[in-house]
Structure 1
Amino acid sequence: MNDGAPSTTRRGLLATLGVGASALAGCSERLWSQAETPGSEQVSLIIKTVPADDDRIAATIASRLRENYTAAGINATHEPVSEAELYRDILLEGEYDVFVARHPGLDEYDALYGLLHSEFYSERGWQNPFQFSDVTADSQLEAQRAADEDDRPAVLADLIDHLLQTTPYTTVAFPYTVSGVSEPLQLPVPPRRLHQYLDVMSHPENGPRDGPLEVGVFGEQLTDQLNPLMVDRNRIDGLLDLVYDPLARWIDGEYVPWLAETVEWSEQGRTRATVTLREGLEWHDGESLDADDVAFTLDFLEDTSMGAVDDGVPAPRYRGKQTLLDRTDVTGPRTIDCYFTETSRSVARRLLTVPVLPEHIWTERSAVVADRQTRAITHPNEDPVGSGLFAVTEAEAATGFELEPFDAHVFRDSQDRPDLFENFSQFEGITFRISPNPGAMSDLLVDGEIDVTVSELPPEIARSVRNADTVSTVTGTTDAFYMIGYNNRQNDLGNPNFRRICSRLIDREHAVSEFFEGFAQAATTPHELVGFHNRAFDADLEDGDEMPDLSFPGTDGEINTSRVRSLFNEIGYSYDDDMLLE
């Protein structure tokens, strides 16, 4: 059993036994509950999300969810909280019933391991924030890591089918990314990741220019958090990718060697990767980057206290990827062997995408500052030192910050570099201009003071940008998705049958039409409902034969009250004066 304290009610305990036992939970433990507590109370749920000023979509989804829960007889409350408080309540403290949030996205199916495995039941961050514990899910999560290429799709299909039965969370929609762009700048796709910034800065029609690329963002305290290990990651998409380099990057469906010159794989016995770094790698402060930095980073992600705390203090970010590693062996200044746990090469490659950290800086951040916290995961890292293409030179909380080109980067002058560097760079660095809200950011764009917006344009702002002269919008897709998460330790939410009905009480297609104004893709297929779209395995995954009914019980966003009541009645709940009873 994990360190976290699961619910001690019969309902909570039954939910931990997997879908086989939980199928009986709705009726049998409902009879227990009614027999033991004759004065049953109304089911109550608090839905947390950020305020509408921070994320109108999340707030609107939460508001509609509250209306539908209320119509279903649940005493539902929508509680807007600041983004920092929401992250703390969900990812650090587990103090919530239901939340609505924009998840940054899952890079590969193995990302489900960190999100759901009971190994992370009591850990912080996006590691199992639902306190989900299911023996069958654990077994399937482990099996997909070890399965070979031919067998893995079938294992993943079984896992997804099981998650649809148990429903620890559900996906509403995948928003499109929308950026405003000043003409005549050529913008292939909205810049949210490093290679997309490179697309803009390498386009032959965009320069050369005597000056930086001017980028618009909005929000508060955007320069306060530049720590790549923090739970509440920096809110400017792609910023840390510009500053920190990994061994390899996932770009357009393939792994591209980055700091690594070569990666040689051996799958005789346990999977092993021999990584050879490129020559002449440097940190932004001029120190050399070598294989010891790589080994340090991988060890540090596992225990940021460096042995000072029993069982270690893992970094909340990249935790699922870090658990793929067994050990490392530095064999030379530029070479390191990475030995993996029981996993296939296709899954093990995810580890190569974590940012490499300078040992000479982060070693000093191993001090324990609080219970299960070190300086490494609390430090704001206001002067980041990475090895990326750009270095932070100036940051002002109210106005913005500047990234200057890192001239010593191996890709600046090398001929042996990825094709996307052709014509790079047409700009002298990047300047991020901070506005208090999306309207003010779009005003800067229309007035010609910025080239492109990176913070998400809400639909109503996007319309005004498209109607303005000399500016336009460009739309792309993203792995990010809007999620409804359930705290499995809450009494009623500990019942997977109850969670599954709750997950149906949002009309996804109506939400895309009305809330997103069409700028999103509704989650309707099995793999979309667990957070994936546009993935390589999609063509091979087959929907399970026992697919539960996940349709919305209503029309145009409003539930059919009698239909929903019958659904709750079928799993053993009862009503009294329109109130759903515990």
Structure 2
Amino acid sequence: MVSSDHSTPPSAADDASDSGPPTDGDGSGSGPSVRRRAVLAGAASLVGSGCIQRSRALVGRDSPEQLSLSIKTVPADADTRATTVARTLADRLTTVGVDAQVVLASREELYRDVLLNQKFDLYVARFPHAHDPDFLRPLLHSRFNGEPGWGNPFGYASLELDELLDAQRGQSGTARQRTLREIERVVVRDQPFSVLAFPEEIRTAHTDRVTGWASDGASTSLHYLEAGRPQTSRTNAELDAVTGRPAGDRSEESRLRVTLGDSRPTENLNPLAVEYRTGTAVTGLIYDSLGRWIDGSVGPWLASDWEWGGGADGDGLTAVVTLREDLTWHDGEPLTAADVAFTYRFLADTSLGALENAVPAPNYRREASLVESVSVRGDDRVELEFGPTSRRVAAAAFAAPILPELEWADRNEPASIAGLAAADSITEALVWDNPTPVGSGPLRFDRSKEKESLVLTRFDDHFLARESIEGPPARYAGGFAFDALEFSVVPSGAAAVELVAGGSADATASPVPPETVPDIGGAPDLALRVTHPNAFYHVGFNVREAPNSNTRFRRAVAALLDRESLVEEFFGGFAEPAVSPLGRDGPLSPDLGGGASDIVVPFAGENGHLDVDKARENFREAGYRYSSDGRLLTR
């Protein structure tokens, strides 16, 4: 367990290997160097006893070494911002005496190491878009420690935070806001991960090929349903001339062609495979859920409605959910309440009881943890029981993808795959590539070519295409406006913009870098879209082992980065610097925003320039010492 102490000097709870007072670099004083001289003196009397080797071993064990850390992240062609931040942090750690190196890995390798194997010192990555502050509960609650996925990958534990996270789940209104402020302060104080910035996302679309490329971009699957075909008086020949499409390169099928900077959807379409999913923009088109997040809350989707019961907020809620009529899977089989009940049981334990311990689906740990039981009440009705949870928090459970029982029930065996450290806690369901997915969403799988392309086609039996829709989903009535959606993998954001400008693509699905904005702005037929997702870049710490188990050490590392300078230099100004994971528009606690609170970790420098002496002093205050040649030593 990790101590969250922040007001007293580091103790044995911070680092079990610590003994004796630290010294400040030259080995003088009463610390480890005194013990070393005593051992050497004692060794002289052992020369004739044949114990020299043993005495040398004693000396070697007592000799502190330079502290070493690795920082894992993705290569620049996958995420330039993450790579640059990691290299900057490594450079500054090296400057203050740490043997630091950056370890580059593909997206799936990085997330496998961090979220499944939990083999890392530090990492730099972007946390997925979060709809509600309750995402912090599985992320940081000690109950989820050791689980695969975003269930506390840091190994952080704090009884104080556990109680707050449990409390907010059952609260609403001002009571919840007060608790969320306390949660925010504990997270900023203890730094299990260090928030850097909330990025803006830049996309573009060719106005002669697609309209309604939503003003908030294509960060979720619903935005594809808002895209439409332009009403234009131009002839096909004129459109070809404008966009550069070769004459005759046209079929009767209308197709929306978008660029993709991440090849993972062409390799794996399993919504439960955490290392392949950092969002649901693609799989959310294939798999539907009972409800969808629309305008900040969850509204009915596959469900025609749900009725709350069982008590007030925080007092054992229940919900009876009624499905829409005549729902079917893409293979024509009916979607029933039995599939819904199976899904929630499966998300809670993908082994279906076959293994000694439950193996929950990591991508939907929060949603599944809200549901205590589920019962079938007929072909089109299910009843869900919740724990002490408010209605707003409980409704998030409806956003989990519904899975066909016939396709998934036999995926409950232990996984046998290279690269997994604990195969007994991973099932086939979590590592299956799902090459030909069967869902119930507005688009169905057609074909894919690994690392090159993915084609989805319109599902004409979807309820959006055949029902009169009321409420928030009404804006998507009629379903997807094209016959097909084609994703093409591109090597860079600049290449994506070039393809759209030249007519070989209609829009960018993945965000493009700030450097492309002048090119987009200079092209009369390209529309610029800038969105503000609730996603943040962060440095994650593995707090299970020293030195990251020491709260003051983590704070000393966090002080090496100046958020404002990072945003200007590496994000091109298209981001908001932040200290709180709840702070897209500023933290909930006003003093955290102004830096007036001593809880906030101040940058050890000014205007982006590191004050090396101040940074080194932070590590000394964390209980570490330096060698005479400036190396930070282990404890």
Q: Highest CA radius of gyration, 1 or 2? A: 2
Change (3 A) 1:206 1:419: farther
Distance verdict in 2 for CA 1:552–1:248, change over 3 Å:
same
Alpha carbons of 1:242 and 1:562: their partners in 2 closer, same or farther (altered >3 Å)?
same
Name stretches of at least 5 consecutive residues in structure 2 with no aligned partner.
23-30, 33-60, 237-251, 417-423
- Aligned equivalents of 2:448, 2:21: Cα separation in 1: 57
Does the aligned pair in 1 maintain the 2:138–2:152 contact within 8 Å?
A: yes
Please give the residue correspondences for 1:154-553 in structure 2 after superposition, counting only pairs within 5 Å.
154-184=178-208, 185-186=210-211, 187=213, 188-201=215-228, 211-234=254-277, 238-268=281-311, 269-370=315-416, 371-417=424-470, 418-421=473-476, 425-468=480-523, 470-524=525-579, 529-533=580-584, 543=591, 547-553=598-604
For these two proteins, the number of residue pairs brought into alignment is 561
Question: Structure 1 residues 495, 575: CA separation in 2 closer, same or farther (over 3 Å shift)?
Answer: same
Shift of 1:424: 5.1
CA distance in 2, matches of 1:434, 1:369: 29
Looking at structure 2, the residues matched to 543 and 347 of structure 1 have their Cα atoms a distance apart, in angstroms, of 27
**How far apart are the structure 2 equivalents of 1:90 and 1:531?**
22
One-letter code of the match for 1:394?
A: R
Residue identity over aligned pairs, in percent, reads: 34
The secondary structure found in structure 1 opposite 2:528 is strand
| 1:581 partner letter | L
Q: Deviations over 1:276-335 (max 9, x none)?
A: 111111111111111111110000011111111112221121012211111012111111
**1:204 Cα shift?**
6.8
Quote the Cα distance in structure 2 between the aligned partners of 1:415 and 1:178: 34
Contact 1:26/1:572, CA 8 A, preserved across alignment: no
| Alignment check: 8 A CA contact 1:161 1:546 kept | no
Secondary structure, counterpart of 1:25 in structure 2 = coil
Partners in 2 of 1:385 and 1:574 — Cα distance?
A: 58
Q: What CA distance in whole angstroms lies between the structure 2 residues aligned with 1:509 and 1:565?
A: 21
2:156 is aligned with 1:127? no
Counterpart CA distance in 1 for 2:598 and 2:342 is: 45
Q: Is 2:64 aligned against 1:18? A: no
Please give the secondary structure, in 2, of the residue aligned with 1:78.
Answer: strand
TM norm structure 2: 0.83
- Alpha carbons of structure 1 residues 514 and 396: separation in structure 2 relative to 1, 3 Å: same
- Give the distance between the partners of 1:162 and 1:235, measured in 2 at CA: 26
User: In 2, Cα distance between the equivalents of 1:27 and 1:139?
Assistant: 21
Contact 1:236 1:455 in 2 (8 A): no
* Cα distance, 1:41–1:455 mapped onto 2, change above 3 Å: same
Distance in 2 (alpha carbons) for counterparts of 1:267 and 1:500: 45
Q: Distance in 2 between matches of 1:71 and 1:128?
A: 30
Counterpart residue number, 2:139: 115
Amino acid aligned to 2:385: Y
CA 1:280 to 1:547, structure 2 compared with 1: closer, same or farther past 3 Å? Answer: farther
Q: Aligned pair 1:153/2:177, yes or no?
A: yes
Q: Is the 8 A contact 1:305 1:366 kept in 2?
A: yes
In structure 2, C-alpha distance between the alignment counterparts of 1:127 and 1:458, rounded to whole Å: 30
CA distance in 2, matches of 1:53, 1:513: 20
Whether the 8 Å CA contact 2:257–2:506 is kept in 1: the answer is yes
Q: Deviations over 1:195-232 (max 9, x none)?
A: 22222238878999951111111344541110000111
Sort the Cα spacing of 1:573 and 1:500 in 2 relative to 1 into closer, same or farther, 3 A: same
Tell me the CA shift for residue 340 of structure 1.
Answer: 0.7
Structure 1 residue aligned with 2:622: 571
Structure-2 separation of matches of 1:113 and 1:21: 25
Aligned-partner residue type, residue 176 of structure 2:
R
Name the SS for the 2:515 alignment partner. Answer: helix
Q: What SS does the aligned partner of 1:223 have?
A: helix
Contact 1:161–1:543 under 8 Å retained in 2: no
CA deviations on 1:55-98 (whole Å, 9 max, x unpaired) are: 11110000111122122222211121222221121111111111
Answer yes or no: is the 8 Å Cα contact 2:128–2:279 preserved in 1: no
The CA deviation at 1:24 is: 4.3
* CA-CA distance at 1:257 after TM superposition: 0.8
Secondary structure of the equivalent of 2:382? strand
Cα displacement string for residues 542-563 of structure 1 (whole angstroms, at most 9, x for unaligned residues):
6579651422121343311111
| 3-state SS of 2:267 partner | coil
Cα separation, partners in 2 of 1:358 and 1:568, compared to 1, 3 Å: same
Do the aligned partners of residues 93 and 426 (structure 1) sit closer, same or farther apart at CA in structure 2, a change above 3 Å counting? closer
Q: 1:206, 1:373 → 2: CA distance?
A: 56
Q: Is the 8 A contact 2:142 2:157 kept in 1?
A: yes
In structure 2, what is the Cα distance between the partners aligned to 1:206 and 1:138? Answer: 61
Deviation at 1:579, TM superposition (A): 2.1
Matched with 1:48 is: 72
Q: Deviations over 1:521-577 (max 9, x none)?
A: 1114xxxx2254259xx77x5657965142212134331111112222333322223
Q: 1:295 to 1:534 in 2, by over 3 A?
A: farther
Match of 2:122 in 1: 98
CA apart distance, 1:422 = 5.1
- TM-score relative to the length of structure 1: 0.90
Cα–Cα, structure 1 residues 124 and 532, in superposed 2: closer, same or farther, change >3 Å? farther
Please state if 1:562 is matched with 2:608: no
Contact 1:554 1:560 in 2 (8 A): yes
